[in-house]
Amino acid sequence: MEQLILNLKNEIIEVLNLVDVTPEDIDNDAPLFGEGLALDSIDALELIVLMEKNYGIKLKDPAAGKEIFKSISVMADYIAKNRTK
Amino acid sequence: MNNRIYITGTSQISIQEPLCEQWMDSPISYDVKYTRAIDPNFKEFVSPIEARRMGLLLKRAVATSYTVMKESGISQPDAIITGTGLGCIENTELFLNALCFEGENMLKPTYFMQSTHNTIGSLLAIRTKSHGYNVTYAHKGISFDSALYDAYLQMRLNKISNALVGSHDEMTPSYFKLLQKVGYVGGDMEGVCGEVSMAAMLENDSSKALCTLHSMRVLYRPSLQKLEKAVEQVLQEAGITMDDVDGVITGINGNRKNDEEYSRYTEELFPVTAKLRYKHLFGECYSSSSLAFYSAVQCLRHERIPLGMVYGNVQLKDRKPEYLLIFNQQEEKNFSIILLGKQI
């Protein structure tokens, strides 16, 4: 799980172009939206694309993203349980 | 049509030192055919949170535009008029490549949002909260000239009292390769392909004027007679003759065909006026004519013309420059004539 979390953080930094942010700066349990990284709705779309492209997870219900993208830990847990690649 | 138009700020990011006029004294010279622009520290203009969704061209446009807004003291221009030949081509390429290689299902929204030509003008409007006239001209090498002409006409007609006019273009490695394939660059061509972001503030108010935009014309496939007439009219509107003009800035770039075209026209139209070049300093791209404008403004502002700009047999007049004429043409189709003067 630790390796998955690290990979996920690196992927998010790359995909969202988080200049000057390192994996260590991202708290595993901090909210990704609103507070923490302060991501927005366009970032949510980027994360949906990331999940499908890198882990083969297709989110059929966009509303589910709200729960899945709660924090890095929640996201990693969801990926570990549902990934197809 | 009597409103006078003054330039109260200009700024550039190019293959020379950015956001300054170091090129006038110690220009950087290149012996490569292709190079990217030298970027300033964007953190002075854009926060990291904002920057993450901005392509390079957008950051450059923000940096040059905010520099001239600061210089002119105008934070909300009446109009934002932008020229760009290729728009945000780097992001367009990323978006199209993803479309080709990964299909339509997994496209990144950010690249898509930035893949239109008018992203630049829109971003500047959002950031400055300017809800006025906002237009982008995408006409290859005449894009800047078209944008400037729009601002010129609207200010002359008293529709607006100031305008932020800019021209911004990237040169990606893949687009450079395409230009090489069609023989426009590379081969025996001297000179370099570069990138440009240039912004200028035009105002009716003369209190902070660097120089005056006296008159201009944009023409499509004119005959030599029509060009002669247009030059005559431009000079007439400023109340001067060709004898008063210190130099004609042309777009020679080391490409044989392009330079022969310029040579033919300038010998006919301006046989006894000094010729000035700028593309050997700033390189070639669709927005490079904006740097002819920028260079002219800086020469008039600093009251000197760097000797490295002079080419041909006609010497400069022994005085501080008072009038500079910009003559731009693209493949003998699109032409522009722009007259700038020191006189405020």
- Choice among B76-80, B110-114, B258-262, B264-268 with the minimum mean pLDDT: B110-114
Q: Of A42, A43, A49, which to mutate for an interface test with B (greatest number of B Cβ within 10 Å)? A: A49
Asked whether residue B155 is assigned to any structural domain, the reply reads yes
**For the whole model, what pTM was predicted?**
0.92
Q: Are residues B150 and B249 in the same domain?
A: no
Indicate whether B301 and B224 sit together in one domain.
yes
Closest CA of chain B from A20, distance in Å: 8
Q: Which residues pair with B338 in a beta bridge?
A: B216, B326
B108 lies in the same domain as B223: no
- Same domain for B219 and B197, yes or no, is no
Residues 75-104 of chain B with CB under 8 A from chain A are 102
B316: helix, coil or strand? coil
B189 shares its domain with B246: no
The reply to whether B236 and B307 lie within a common domain is yes
Strand B133-137 versus strand B196-203 pairing type: unpaired
Q: How many CB atoms lie within 10 A of CB A24?
A: 8
Do B52 and A16 count as a contact with CB atoms less than 8 A apart?
yes
**Three-state DSSP class for B250?**
strand
DSSP assignment, residue B208? T
Q: What is the pLDDT of residues B256-282, one digit of tens each?
A: 889 999 999 999 999 999 999 999 999
Residues B128 and B219 in one domain: no
Which residue, B140, B175, B203, sits at the end of a domain? Answer: B203
CA distances from A56 to A8, A59, B100 (A): 14, 10, 19
Same domain for B256 and B127: no
Set of chain A residues whose Cβ sits within 8 Å of the Cβ of B105: 52
Q: Which residues contact B319 (CB under 8 A, 6 or more apart)?
A: B246
Structure-block tokens of residue B294: 């920028």
Report whether B215 contacts B237 (CB < 8 A).
Answer: yes
Residue B49 counted as domain residue? yes
Examine the domain organization and report whether B134 and B48 are in the same domain. Answer: yes
Partner-chain contact A46 B110, CB within 8 Å: yes
The CA–CA distances, whole Å, from B156 to B3, B119, B143, B294, B314 equal 5, 27, 20, 21, 34
Q: Is B109 helix (H, G, I), strand (E, B) or coil?
A: helix
Asked whether residue B302 falls in the same domain as residue B198, the answer is no
Quick check: B204 pLDDT over 90? yes
B1 falls in which pLDDT band (50, 70, 90)?
A: low
What average pLDDT does chain B have? 94
Domain boundaries, chain A: 2-82
Q: How many domains does chain B have?
A: 2
What is the distance between the alpha carbons of residues B168 and B187, in angstroms, rounded to a whole number?
26
CATH number belonging to the domain at A2-82, selected among 3.40.50.11540, 1.10.1200.10, 3.60.10.10, 1.10.260.40 = 1.10.1200.10
Neighbours of B333 (CB within 10 A): 13
- The tokens for B234 are 């431009």
CATH at residue B151: 3.40.47.10
Neighbour order of strands in the sheet with B196-203: B133-137, B79-83, B162-169, B196-203, B5-13, B211-220, B334-341, B323-330, B247-250, B275-277, B310-311
Residues B195 and B224 in one domain: no
CA B203/CA B141 separation, integer angstroms? 25
Residue B176 lies inside a defined structural domain of this protein: yes
Q: Cα(B341)–Cα(A65) distance, rounded to whole angstroms?
A: 60
Find out whether A33 and A47 touch, Cβ atoms under 8 Å. Answer: no
- Residue B337 — very low, low, confident or very high, per pLDDT cuts 50/70/90? very high
Q: Which of B171, B203, B235 is the last residue of a domain?
A: B203
What angle (nearest 5°) sits at the alpha carbon of residue B41, between those of residues B38 and B42? 105
Tell me, yes or no, whether B139 and B90 share the same domain: yes
Asked if the model's pLDDT at residue B187 lies above 80, the reply is no
| B209 located within any domain | no
Q: CA angle, corner B204, sides to B201 and B208, nearest 5?
A: 60
Neighboring chain A residues of B106 at a CB cutoff of 8 Å:
49, 52-53
Confidence of residue B2 (pLDDT cuts 50, 70, 90): low
Say how many Å lie between the first and final Cα of chain B, rounded. 17
Residue B54's domain comprises 5-203
Of B203, B226, B247, the last residue of a domain is: B203
Any CB–CB contact under 8 A between B46 and chain A?
A: no
**Side chain identity at residue B182, one-letter code:** V
b/e sequence B246-267, b meaning 16+ C-beta within 10 Å? bbbbbbbbbbeebbebbeebbe
- Summarize pLDDT for B140-184 with one digit per residue, the tens: 999 999 999 999 999 999 999 999 999 999 999 999 999 888 877
Q: Per the domain annotation, does B208 fall within a domain?
A: no
Euclidean distance between CA atoms B18 and B39, whole angstroms: 6
> Looking up tokens 């080419």, which residue turns up?
B311
